[in-house]
Amino acid sequence: MPTYNRADLAFERGEGARLWTADGRRFLDFGSGIATSSLGHNHPHLVRAICDQAAKVMHVSNLYRVPEAERLAARHVAASFADSVFFCNSGAEANEGMIKAMRKAMAETGRPERFRIITFEGAFHGRTLAMLAATGNPKYLEGFGPRVDGFDQVPFGNMNAVRDAIGPATAGILIEPVQGEGGVRPAELRFLRELRATCDEFGLLLGLDEVQIGMGRSGKLWAHQWAGIEPDVMSSAKGIGGGFPLGAILAKEHVAKHLKPGTHGTTYGGNPLACAAGNAVLDVILAPGFLDGVDRVARHLWRALVALKDRHPELIEDVRGAGLLLGIKLREPLVNTDAQAAAVAEGLLTVAAGMNVLRLAPPLIITEAEADEAVDLLDRALRRAKAALAPAKAAE
């Protein structure tokens, strides 16, 4: 179906942060398949784990125990705020399950009228019907019938608006600690703390969508750790499987215990193959020093991008983001998709985001030398894009 505007590039193989097309063109991958291939390409430990598991058993369904899933869940519980984990296959699915869990917890604790969730402008939570409503972007909702009820959207970072939106039907708040698709906008840590306090004050549940920023991308395993808060429930996907489809809902017991048999499920969720991939990813990310390395290279990249902004003040308005999810907000008339195409011409893959932002989401295994190389390529791409702008301007 014509759902995607695909670039005319077809990759044949990858190695670390590099990708090669069938005709031999080489690219530095600072998109990671939209913040997903967290260990880069052809990571030997991940590849071995998937191949070994595929040769044993791939899928059995949730009619049976799945030891790989039990192990992965126990490890995620040990490493996070959560008491329980539910595995699924994608970010939208994890978010759907998270909202169900929040509503169910309210219903089961004598507050069935509390089903509404406060979300934020600029959010992106996925493409299912309910997550489109949570996302609230009119462009995505148009033509798909009545908007699913139960989501109240307020401006990002505005505590007064949050408090005003809380009513007798409110169950909780859903937020990305760093908005990804919406334009790589981090929530202030103070705002996240205030949301936690407000949820406690009103007896609401705090749900975090860490699909894009989670699993080490911020430099900590979970981005909310920077704020020193804990959610009641959280979604993960993308990097959690390192490129193999895997999603998860992580929750505290007071939420998780209400999703009893028959209330939620999925055929593929947590199958042995996906969980073997998830365990291999965790082996790498939780290895001593790995996340410190992510933080170090991220700070290095940040400094290089700020220097790039200083070299191109007429093209770059702002550098923003957190960890290895960084955004270059461009100044019009330069538009992000043109800058992205110019980067491709220089051999660098990036991803466009909302608000005219060019997004960098490299694999977490990049070196400082690769970060420098990416910024050099961006420098050239910006010069190229600027040169392309000049004749267009002259023709006006």
Ligand X SMILES: Cc1ncc(COP(=O)(O)O)c(C=O)c1O
What the block records as the tokens of 202 is 């009103």
What the block records as the tokens of 25 is 């063109």
Q: How near is the Cβ of 150 to ligand X at its closest, in Å?
A: 17
**Residue nearest ligand X, Cβ-based:** 91
Q: Is 125 in the site for ligand X (CB under 6 A)?
A: yes
Binding segment for ligand X (CB under 6 A), chosen from 90-98, 108-116, 282-290, 316-324, is: 90-98
Q: How near is the Cβ of 35 to ligand X at its closest, in Å?
A: 7
Binding segment for ligand X (CB under 6 A), chosen from 120-128, 200-208, 251-259, 295-303, is: 120-128
Of 32, 38, 80, 90, which one interacts with ligand X (CB under 6 A)?
90
CA 127 to chain centre: 14
Binding segment for ligand X (CB under 6 A), chosen from 1-9, 114-122, 160-168, 204-212, is: 204-212
Q: How near is the Cβ of 172 to ligand X at its closest, in Å?
A: 16
For the segment 22-61, give every residue that binds ligand X (CB under 6 A). 34
Of 126, 177, 278, 363, which one interacts with ligand X (CB under 6 A)?
126
User: Residue 34 or 345: which CB sits closer to ligand X?
Assistant: 34
Contact, 33 vs 363, CB < 8 A?
A: no
What the block records as the tokens of 312 is 């191109």
Interaction pattern, residues 293-332, with ligand X; x per rule: CB under 6 A:
----------------------------------------
Q: How near is the Cβ of 45 to ligand X at its closest, in Å?
A: 23
Binding segment for ligand X (CB under 6 A), chosen from 44-52, 208-216, 298-306, 319-327, is: 208-216
Binding segment for ligand X (CB under 6 A), chosen from 70-78, 85-93, 317-325, 386-394, is: 85-93
Q: Is 105 in the site for ligand X (CB under 6 A)?
A: no
Number of residues that bind ligand X (CB under 6 A): 15
Q: How near is the Cβ of 94 to ligand X at its closest, in Å?
A: 7
Of 30, 81, 124, 191, which one interacts with ligand X (CB under 6 A)?
124
Of 82, 234, 237, 374, which one interacts with ligand X (CB under 6 A)?
237
User: Residue 91 or 304: which CB sits closer to ligand X?
Assistant: 91
User: Residue 217 or 312: which CB sits closer to ligand X?
Assistant: 217
Binding segment for ligand X (CB under 6 A), chosen from 17-25, 67-75, 118-126, 250-258, is: 118-126
Binding segment for ligand X (CB under 6 A), chosen from 89-97, 273-281, 325-333, 370-378, is: 89-97
* Closest among 33, 29, 34 to 16, alpha carbons compared: 29
Q: How near is the Cβ of 162 to ligand X at its closest, in Å?
A: 19
Per residue, what are the HEC states of the chain? Answer: CCCCCCCCCCEEEEEECEEEECCCCEEEECCHHHHCCCCCECCHHHHHHHHHHHHHCCCCCCCCCCHHHHHHHHHHHHHCCCCEEEEECCHHHHHHHHHHHHHHHHHHCCCCCCCEEEEECCCCCCCCHHHHHHHCCHHHHCCCCCCCCCEEEECCCCHHHHHHHCCCCEEEEEECCEECCCCCEECCHHHHHHHHHHHHHHCCEEEEECCCCCCCCCCCCCHHHHHCCCCCEEEECHHHHECECCEEEEECHHHHCCCCCCCCCCCCCCCHHHHHHHHHHHHHHCCCCHHHHHHHHHHHHHHHHHHHHHHCCCCEEEEEEECCEEEEEECCCCCHHHHHHHHHHHCEECEEECCCEEEECCCCCCCHHHHHHHHHHHHHHHHHHHHHHHHHHHHC
* Closest among 137, 225, 220 to 189, alpha carbons compared: 225
User: Distances from the Cα of 261 to the Cαs of 247, 258, 264, in angstroms?
Assistant: 19, 9, 7
Q: Is 363 in the site for ligand X (CB under 6 A)?
A: no
Of 46, 73, 88, 92, which one interacts with ligand X (CB under 6 A)?
92
Chain residues binding ligand X by CB under 6 A are 34, 90-92, 95, 124-126, 176, 180-181, 209, 211-212, 237
